[in-house]
Structure 1
Amino acid sequence: MNKIIKGLLLALMLTISLVGCSSVGDKKEDKENKELVIGMELAYPPFETTDEKGNPSGMSVDLAKDLGEYLGRTVRIENMAYAGLIPSLQSKKIDVILSSMTISEERLEVIDFSDAYSNAYLTLLINKDSPVNEVKDLNLKGRKVAIKKGTIAQVYAEKFLPEAEVLLFDKETACVLEVVQGKADAFIYDQMTIFKNWQQYPNETRANLTPFEEEPQEWAMGVRKEDKELKEQINDFIKEYKENGGFEKLSDKYLSDIKEEFKSRDIPFFF
């Protein structure tokens, strides 16, 4: 009888052990396959935009998918207003910001960033009838500068253009229209955006494509400060992606015409 009881106890212990091991394995697998939620504002083609069916599309979307493949995690893109990206990251509605976001001291106070994957430069879209030629010309009483809310251009304008009237808008298109209609002297944004909008409105605008800051604005992926492991994984991905020519392939796919134009004008490119 004692042998039977001992046998049953041994079988029960083995079952518990196997269930425990299975549970640990399942948890590990769940962690590896956990959905990666990436926030971006799909209003900045060709980096972040939508296709004809309304699906996320663009350079940053491809980059996000490649990151997910590298991490072995499925990716879900959450489209939201640019100004809402950091609050959404802090409240854990998203896991990563990948939306052409610039590293800044102000942002580093509340979130962390990966290594930079791109450089961008601030330039000017100017109304054709405005006396403004350079950014310093904006720092006068009566000058009006259109700024997209929540961008690094807002930080620059508030810091270096105290005399100008800063007009804040949620959308890039609204900023451009202010300049086109003569309601603002200029719009500050990256050189690609300025170049494209100047091409679209050649009779109403001028462009000063010479960067007015010595150091470029660095784009990186935003993560929560406590997500150190994820940050390290993203940094490893960026390093390997660069080494394997991933950014060159993306720029050839989405920015080939801009790339050649910038090269001919001796304007620094993103990658």
Structure 2
Amino acid sequence: MFKGIKCIGLLTLVLVLQLAVSIPVHAAGKPLVVGMELAYPPFEMTDAKGKPDGVSVQLAYELGKALGRPVEIRNMAFDGLIPALKTGKIDLIISSMTATPERAKSIDFSDPYLTTGLCLLAGKNVRGSTIVDFDQPGRTIAVKKGTTGHLYASNNLKKAKVLVLDKEAAAVLEVVQGKADAFIYDQMSTYQNFQRNRDTTRPILKPFQTESWAVGIRKGNDELKAKVNRFLFEFRKSGGFGKLGDRYLKEEKDAFQQLGFPFFL
């Protein structure tokens, strides 16, 4: 009896070891390393305890669940994300990144998961309602380095001075202090920055360039790209994006509806 139990136990151990060897590495829990800049609330930020949080963070965690892989969030400067992806330091970029033709030359993108647009945070007493009004001699336009606002300004603004800054907060401060006439950024952030600086700024939310955000993927990684696209489709179909919007952007969602702008998440 005892020898029989020992044999059964040995056989079970052998089967378990064989099964473990046959499991693919990714299914066994190889971390999915996701790069983002945790300085863009409510999409990429840290909570009161210093842990990653926000729409993009939760999206990354849900993607990890769907792939059966734990997620490691790697915080880095926005303009360092693409180099990190290309050199294999991260597996994906989920950082409110616009899929542009220029970026697509060096990395691949998933299907779009969010549509937004570039607009202006202007000084409260600065005249103008369009980007053309602000692209005038004597005007200063702030942009954040490495963003599509920076790219747009470099390619399209011919008369105004373009002030390139490393941080969103620094660009907002230039407008608040009257050192810049406007700041080019996305609609949601522009509205939020206006809410924090009502006495000194005003939002011009009508976009002058429409954009789509997508997940950045290393070129040639077609298998992962297909899995990400399948996840995004199913996540939207199941109402996942709507729940994230209600959790992190309820006030903004209501405000955009009142202003007559479509809510993009």
Q: Does 1:245 align with 2:239?
A: yes
- Which amino acid is the alignment partner of residue 165 of structure 2? F
Residue equivalent to 2:21: 26
SS at match of 2:258: helix
Q: 1:71 aligns with which of 67, 71, 87?
A: 67
1:270 aligns with 2:260: no
What is the identity percentage for the equivalent residue pairs of Structure 1 and Structure 2? Answer: 50
Q: Secondary structure of 1:30's match?
A: coil
**CA distance in structure 2 between the aligned counterparts of 1:94 and 1:82, rounded to whole angstroms:** 13
1:86 equivalent in alignment to 2:86? no
Aligned 1:218-257 pairs, distance under 5 A: 218-257=212-251
Instruction: Within 5 Å, give how 1:185-224 maps onto structure 2.
Output: 185-213=181-209, 216-224=210-218
Q: Which runs of 5+ in 2 are unaligned?
A: 1-13
Compute the displacement of 1:172 (Å).
Answer: 0.5
Unaligned runs of 5+ in 1: 1-17
Contact 2:26 / 2:68 at 8 angstroms: preserved in 1?
A: no
Partners of 2:21 and 2:162 in 1: how far apart? 54
1:132–1:185: 8 Å Cα contact kept in structure 2? Answer: no
In 1, distance between residues paired with 2:218 and 2:58? 22
> What SS is found at the alignment partner of 1:101?
coil
Q: State the number of aligned residues.
A: 250
In 2, the alpha carbon distance for the partners of 1:172 and 1:269 equals: 22
| TM-score, scaled relative to structure 2 | 0.90
Q: In 1, Cα distance between the equivalents of 2:122 and 2:40?
A: 20
Correspondence 1:166 to 2:188: no
Aligned residues of 1:46 and 1:254 also touching (Cα < 8 A): yes
CA–CA distance in structure 1, aligned partners of residues 22 and 263 of structure 2: 44
What's the RMSD between the two structures over aligned residues?
A: 1.6
Label 1:155 to 1:27 Cα distance change in 2 as closer, same or farther (>3 A).
Answer: farther
Q: What's the secondary structure of 2:228's corresponding residue? A: helix
Which residue in 1 is equivalent to 2:94? 98
d(CA) in 1 for partners of 2:174 and 2:22? 53
2:4 maps to which residue? none
CA distance in 2, matches of 1:270, 1:190: 11
